[in-house]
């Protein structure tokens, strides 16, 4: 199960995130989302837990708890929508 973890402190590392969830079961991966230009954390990440019962237990136990000074927002990750590109139609002047 893929789990969204938000409101992360800038000091949280991927290892911190993994450790917090491993206390509740097996963790396949833990990833922080970073800014592509600065490399700094964007304040959220994702944890993949292969056993659904363990994942649900971890979500219930960790949602609202403190990790390095910030209260975690933990829930099941939603699938990404295809954002497409551009947007806008005809850019020529219509005068």
Q: How many residues does the chain have?
A: 95
State the CB neighbour count (10 A cutoff) for residue 68. Answer: 13
The three-state secondary structure class of 16 is helix
Whose CA is closest to 58, among 68, 67, 9? Answer: 67
Domains and CATH numbers, the chain: 1-7+21-43+52-78 (3.30.70.330)
**Tokens 């917090």 map to which residue?**
20
The tens place of each residue's pLDDT in the chain, 95 residues long, gives 999 999 999 999 999 999 999 999 999 999 999 999 999 999 999 999 999 999 999 999 999 999 999 999 999 999 877 555 555 555 555 55
pLDDT of residue 79: 84
pTM over 0.95: no
Residue 93 has which token pair? 């002047």
């Amino acid at each position: 199960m893929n789990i969204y973890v938000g409101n992360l402190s800038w000091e949280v590392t991927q290892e911190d995130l993994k450790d917090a969830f491993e206390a509740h079961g097996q963790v396949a991966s833990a990833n922080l989302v970073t800014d592509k230009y600065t490399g700094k954390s964007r304040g959220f990440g994702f944890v993949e837990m292969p056993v659904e019962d363990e994942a649900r237990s971890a979500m219930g136990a960790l949602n609202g708890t403190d990790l390095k000074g910030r209260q975690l927002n933990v829930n099941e990750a939603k699938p990404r929508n295809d954002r497409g590109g551009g947007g806008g139609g005809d850019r020529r002047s219509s005068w």
